Chains A and B, each alone.
Chain A
Amino acid sequence: MSNMGFYVSPEQLMLDRANYAKKGIARGKSVTVVSYKDGILLCAQNPSSTLHKISEIYDRIAFAGVGKYSEFDQLRIAGVRHADLKGYSYSRDDVDARGLANIYAQHLSQVFIHDHKPMEVELVVVEVKADQTNDEIFHVLYEGSVNDEQNFAALGGEAEQVRDHLANNFKPNLDLKSAIALSTEALEAQIASSDFENSNSEQANPVETTNSSSPKIQVGDLEAAVLERNKEGRVFQRLTDEELANYLT
C-alpha cells in the first residue's frame, strides 16, 4: 500500500483496512444460520434467485457469504474445489468443515495483511452432524479470525440486531417451520432497525415513518436452504419459493 513515504503506524494501517472491509460488508443484507431438530437452516435476504449467497460445498457442508458477491463467490468456488480434491484423494468422510474454515481463515488473513485491499466478505461454513449438539458452525471474518458458534449465527452488516434476536428466541429441537419463522423474524428485525436509521437521517421525508407495522420479507426476497440431518450422501437442499410460502403461513 502506498503511503508516499510518510510514516503510518501499523495500528492505523490495520484500522484503515478493517474499516474499509467493514464498510463493504455493511452494504449487504444479513444471513442467518439456525440449527434445528432435523438439520441446519440457512436464510438470506436476497432478491436475486440466481446469484446465491448460500451454497453447497460437500455432502454435509454448506457455505454462506455476505459482502461483495464476486469475492465470496470466488471463495465458494475455491471451497468446492478444495473439498472435491480432498474427497477424491482421501475419502468422502475426510472432508470436514473445520479444515475448510481454517484454510479460508488463512487465505483471508494473508490477503488482509499483504494484498492491496482486504476482501469485503464474511463467511460461514457449517456442517450438520447426526446429533444437534454436535453441529458445527464456523464464522470466518474478513481479517481471518474464526469463531466457533453454537446453535446459530448471524453475519453481515447489521448482524448484531439479528444475532440478538436469535439469541433471545432460539430453542433447541425446533422444527423446520419454527426455524424458518425465527430466521425471517431475525432478518426483519434488521430491516426495521435499518429503516429506523434511514428515517432518522432523512428527516426531509417524514411520510415514510407513518407506516409503523414491522416490515415483512417477501418470499421472493428470501433465499433459504437446509442441510438435512437424517439423510445420507449429499444432504444440501434449497427451499423453493412455494415451500417457503407454505412454511411461512
Chain B
Amino acid sequence: MQITCDRLTIELGHTEIVRDLSLKAAPGAFIGVIGPNGSGKSTLLKCIYRVLKAKSGCVYLNEEELESLTYKESAQQLGVVTQHNYYNFDFKVSEVVLMGRAPHKKQMERDNTEDYAIVYDALGKVDMYDFKDRVFSTLSGGEQQRIILARALAQRTKCLILDEPTNHLDIKHQLQIMELSKKLGVTVVAALHDLNIAATYCDYLYMLKEGQVVAEGLPRKVLTEEIIGSVYDIRAKIIEDVETSMYHIAYLPNIG
C-alpha cells in the first residue's frame, strides 16, 4: 500500500503548522519523518490518520483519496501508534488490544476465537503476552507503548503510522519495536526523534523544519553534519564504524 501526501497545508488555530508539504511512501517502505520540536511531524501524521483535516492538499492511500473512505475503511488499512495513551478507566491489556479488531467488525458482531488468536499473537510479538490480564494503567510507560503497538498489529493493516514509537522505551525495546515494524514488510511512516534510530532503520527520510521539508532522501544523504547542524542548530559529527559499517551521529557539546 502506498501513502501519498500531495501539497498538504495544515492549520491549527490559524497558524500554519505544515506548509505545502508533499510526501510519498512506496509500498513496503519504511519512511522516517524527522525534525526538531514543533517542526510539524505529529501534525502531519495526525492528518494522515485523519484526526486533523488539511486546509488544502490531499492524502491518498494507493490511488484513493483518504477523505472519500469511511473511518472504518481507513482503519482497516492504517494502524496507528500515537504518543499519548492515558485512559481514565481500568482496561485489561487484552481488552485494549482487542480494540484493534474493531475496524474489522460489524456493529453487532461478536469477537470470535480468531480475534483472540490475533490478539495473543500481537501480544506475543511485542513480548507482552504474559501481561495480557494485567490492568493497562498499571503498566509502565514503555510497556503501555508496546501494548498500543500490539493493538495496531492486531488491526492487521498494510500501513503503520508511528508517532515517536520509541518514546519511553529502553534500548532493547526501542530496537525491538523498530525491527518488528520493519519485519512486517508493511508501509511504515514514523515520526522519530532519535536520528541514530532513523539512520539505522529507515529506507527514506524526510527532514522537516517549520512545517516544510528541508531535506529528503536516503538516510546518509539527509543526515549529514551540515544539514543536522543547520536544522537543529547544533554541532554534529558523523562516525562510520568500519567493522559494522554502521552510521552514527554524535552530538558535540558547545562547552569545553
Q: A and B, one complex?
A: no
* Residues on A facing B (Cβ under 8 Å): none
